[in-house]
Amino acid sequence: MAFLSLRAAALAALSLLGPAAADFRVKFDVETTGGPSSFTVLVHEDWAPIGAAHFKELVQAKFYDDTRFFRVIPTFMVQFGLSGDPKISTEWRSKTIQDEPVKVSNKPGYMTFAKTGAPNSRTSQLFINYVDNGRLDGMGFSPFGEVEGDGMSVVKQIFNCGESPNQGQIQSEGNSYLDRSFAKLSKIIKASVVESSEDPVRVLLLWALQSRVPGTCCAKLWRISWLLGARS
């Protein structure tokens, strides 16, 4: 019984501590109709592990730096993820990833890779949902992250270009085409993984959950309570 009480307490505390250690954040520095700003996406690895890992690889390769939001439908989503350099677009277009189960629905503010009707067609293009796009769930669009806090107020200031930019020309000409023909497009200046340290309280709680020695339960609970109190 003592172990079960500890387990319940630890699980409850973990639920209040925010993202797990495997999750990560990506900050987007952007220029929109509102001027220079930024928003942060919290990536949940357990939602879509393949998509989360691929997104992190793209960000760390600086793929999204100096790119444009080229498809904007206020009643649907905003799309981006074509490189401003045609050579880079060609390189990444062949790096498709496997489909994976849709574990969470496409809610407003959630991010998912764009895909065609073909299987395993995800590459670098992304959607940020403006509205509840649950209809995408059955098409295999697997969300892997969510815009945090008031970040959607920034996302909603992305210039509404509709569907005018030609994706084929973006891939073949890059930013030279977009800057020449669609100078008002909002842009990503830089996307970067936000470095964070391991949460000591989370480490302790996970340790408590893994231990089944009843004799140490009181000491563990005391330590957990003390650390949680120190955080408040």
Segment 106-159, tens digit of pLDDT: 999 999 999 999 999 999 999 999 999 999 999 999 999 999 999 999 999 999
Strand segments, DSSP code E, in the chain are 24-32, 35-43, 67-73, 77-80, 110-113, 126-129, 143-147, 187-194
Closest by Cα among 145, 144, 125 to 49: 144
Q: Does the structure show a pLDDT above 70 at 95? A: yes
pLDDT in tens, 3-17: 445 555 555 554 555
- Specify the pLDDT at position 122: 98
* Average pLDDT score, the chain: 86
Q: Does the structure show a pLDDT above 50 at 213? A: no
Torsion of CA 132, 134, 140, 144, to 10 degrees: 40
> pLDDT: is 186 or 8 the higher one?
186
pTM (2 d.p.): 0.78
Q: First CA to last CA across the chain, in angstroms?
A: 29
Q: Does the structure show a pLDDT above 70 at 199? A: no
121 CB-near residues (< 8 Å, 6+ apart) = 96, 115
